Structure formats: C-alpha cells, structure tokens
C-alpha cells in the first residue's frame, strides 16, 4: 500500500475497497449504536476484524492524535474529542445525553459550555445505518462561531503519539484525516448542505475570516499529526465535489489550503492523499495544476461520478498515484461475482500498469452489498494484479 501510494511498483496491486463503515458494522452483528456510541466494539476494531476476515489490504482511519487548544490537557482521561476528533476539550465542559427515540433510532445530544454561551448538536444513530446529523453547532454564525473558535483555540499543541498505532501494526496503513474547509464547515453548520453553500455568498467577509483561521489551524494540526508518526495525511473532501459545490467555491475555499497542506507534507516527507466523492474530474485537474498530492481517490465513474480512470492515468499517472474506481452501485452491488471479476479486469487494464494504483471502490461500499461480490473483487485483484519487474501485469487476461 505504501509503495503504491508513493507511485512506485509494489509486488502486486493493493486491493483496498472502501469498507469504512457499514460492512465492518454489519459483520459485528450488533446494532450500529453499540459501535458508534459505546465502542462495543469500536468502529476501528470492527474494521480490523473485517479486513482480516476478507483478507484485504487495510487503510485505518479511526485513530487520532490528542491536541488542539494549548489551554487544554493532553491527558486522554481529561479530554473528549469534538468534530471528527479534530480537537479535544475538557470533559467537564461537555454534557452528553443518549435518548432512545424508537426501536430503530437513538439520539446523542451534546452540549458544550464556553465563556460565550453553549453549543448544542444532536446526532441520530440508527440500528442498521451510520449516524446522521440532526442539528449542528453553528446555528447563528455571529453568535456561535466565537464559541467554536474559543474551543479550537488560538495557540495549539499536539501529543507525540498516534492512538491505536500499535494495535494496527502491519495490518493497515495508518492515516489520519484533515478536512477541507468546505467539509469542516458542512460538518459544523446547522441545516442541510445548501445552507453551507449560501453562507459563502451571503456572508463572504465573515466566511473569508473563518477560512483564514481554519487554514492556520489545519496547517498547525497537519504538522502535529506528521510529527506524531502517521503513515499518511488524508485530506477529506467528500463534500468538496462538483456534485455539490461549484468551481468558484473550490478555487476560493478548498484549493488554497490543499496547496499549503501538500507543500508542508512534501517537505516533511509524509504521504498526502485527497478524497473527493462524486464528480471529481475537474477537482483532479485543478489540484494537479497547483497542489502536489501523492495519491487521489476514489475517482468515481458515471453515473455517480464523471471520471474516466484510463484518461486520468494517461494524463497524470506519472505524477500521482490513483485509488478507485469500481462502481459501488453497479456490479459490485447488483451483479454476480463473475461480473465483478470482469470489472476488476477492466479497471486493472485501464489503470494498473506501471504501479501507482490501488484497486478500490468508488467511495464507500454499501451495507447491502453481497459479501460474495466484495470477496470476488478482492480475490480478482490479487489474482490478476501481480507485477513483473517492468510494472506489467502478466496474469491479466488479454
């Protein structure tokens, strides 16, 4: 995996379908709220069990590095993580209430105290589906942003240890996520994504100020994560897609930070990785012009995306590694194992030659995907993905 991420030729094409949530949760046989709310087991543990069961290459994104506001402790007994574990705050200022709504749904309600007033958020967790935000912290920007900014702090520190690093060992690449500004703001802004988009037009001066703060914070955090020993930094841009936003928003609020993150990671010799769901052809083109990612994914094909992976490999394959692009809503979900094998063969033909490729799904594998199809993908990738010294795939059928 690490060789492929650095655009080199490994022994074989790594096979790493994105099973980040639903498949591991399903395999436990437990209600999702046991996993997401009670760590019984944790999602990270469920993922490690799943990759061993499926005998696939692993990509672990469930750890963290303690840190954030320099005024707060780095003792795990004293703090709790907020906003994707992006920062940690004293447990004493956080109130957590879990409320059973029905046989199929539980709500987690968070209240966080600050000197400027409280922040409140509610998440819905289902018996058989991942969590969904009901309300988020930022309901009124002028009122709530100063509260969130106080929690994040103006000066920062980070622990020198990666949580779960020893547990992961050689089972998986250990990556930690930083979010694009669009994904961060969508994650803390109350309401649907349209409200986040309107903010960029209705409050341009305030959003520019928040972006400047977030950029400074994120670059400090990237440096802390790399020093703690991550294998790679994942720039999480699920919502920074041309399926949701437009190129103007991307160029103003996403690309400038991507450029700075990749520059810093390159200087510190750490792999840096871009994730963008949906329509991402233009995203790849914009980043290849000005940023310096080591690897880009998941490169979704139509109809959910707009990427021709053979074209992207031809245009950019000498400069960046690629990860993707089996259609999660196509043969993987609705076909036969033989159909899946044929799509794997076609994908390896399009993008596997010369190394620098990880066979994966175009974003997360759905929870109702037949396990025999997922196993067929993994087995076919291993069967046909062996490299020779020149980077050819001699076992690939003509």
pTM of the model: 0.96
Going along the chain from its start, the domains and CATH numbers come out as 2-65+159-384 (3.20.20.210)
| pLDDT for 68 | 98
Which helix (H) or strand (E) element contains residue 34? helix 32-38
| pLDDT for 138 | 98
Reference 297, options 314, 315, 278, 310; nearest CA is 278
| pLDDT for 398 | 79
Copy the structure tokens of residue 191.
């309401």
* DSSP β-bridge partners for residue 122: 109, 135
Length of the chain, please?
398
Query: Which positions of the chain have pLDDT values less than 70?
Result: none
> CA 110, CA 80: separation in Å to the nearest integer?
12
**Most distant pair of Cα atoms in the chain: their distance:** 67
| pLDDT for 285 | 98
Q: Name the H helices within the chain.
A: 2-5, 22-28, 32-38, 43-54, 141-152, 165-168, 181-188, 193-202, 204-228, 247-253, 255-267, 281-290, 309-316, 331-334, 337-351, 371-384
* DSSP β-bridge partners for residue 323: 358
| pLDDT for 211 | 98
> CA 211, CA 209: separation in Å to the nearest integer?
5
> CA 95, CA 109: separation in Å to the nearest integer?
8
């Amino acid at each position: 995996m690490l060789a492929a991420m650095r655009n080199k030729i490994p022994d074989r094409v790594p096979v790493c379908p994105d099973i980040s949530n639903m498949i591991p949760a399903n395999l436990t046989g437990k209600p999702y709220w046991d996993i997401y709310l009670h760590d019984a087991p944790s999602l990270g543990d469920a993922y490690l069990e799943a990759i061993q069961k499926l005998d696939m290459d692993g990509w672990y994104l469930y750890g963290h590095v303690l840190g954030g506001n320099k005024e707060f402790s780095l003792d795990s007994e004293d703090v709790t993580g907020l906003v994707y574990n992006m920062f940690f705050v004293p447990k004493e200022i956080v109130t957590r209430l879990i409320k059973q709504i029905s046989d199929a749904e539980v709500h987690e309600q968070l209240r966080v105290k600050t000197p400027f007033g409280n922040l409140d958020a509610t998440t819905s967790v289902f018996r058989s589906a991942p969590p969904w935000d009901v309300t988020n912290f930022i309901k009124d920007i002028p009122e709530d942003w100063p509260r969130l900014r106080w929690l994040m702090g103006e000066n920062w520190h980070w622990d020198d240890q990666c949580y779960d690093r020893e547990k992961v060992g050689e089972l998986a690449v250990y990556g930690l996520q930083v979010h694009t500004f669009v994904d961060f703001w969508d994650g803390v802004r109350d309401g649907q994504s349209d409200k986040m988009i309107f903010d960029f037009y209705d409050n341009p001066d305030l959003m520019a100020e928040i972006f400047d703060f977030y950029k400074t914070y994120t670059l400090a955090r990237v440096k802390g994560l790399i020093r703690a020993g991550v294998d790679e930094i994942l720039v999480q841009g699920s919502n920074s897609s041309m399926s949701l936003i437009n190129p103007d928003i991307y160029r103003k609020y996403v690309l400038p930070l991507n450029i700075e993150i990749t520059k810093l990671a390159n200087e510190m010799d750490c792999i840096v990785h871009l994730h963008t769901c949906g329509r991402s052809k233009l995203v790849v083109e914009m980043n290849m012009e000005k940023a310096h990612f080591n690897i880009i994914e998941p490169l979704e094909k139509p109809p959910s995306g707009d990427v021709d992976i053979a074209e992207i490999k031809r245009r950019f394959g000498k400069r960046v590694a690629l990860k993707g692009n089996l259609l999660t809503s196509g043969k993987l979900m609705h076909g036969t194992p033989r159909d899946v094998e044929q799509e794997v063969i076609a994908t390896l033909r399009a993008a596997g030659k010369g190394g620098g490729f990880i066979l994966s799904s175009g974003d997360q594998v759905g929870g109702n995907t037949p396990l025999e199809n997922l196993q067929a993908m993994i087995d076919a990738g291993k069967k046909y993905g062996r490299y020779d010294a020149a980077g050819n795939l001699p076992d690939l059928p003509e």
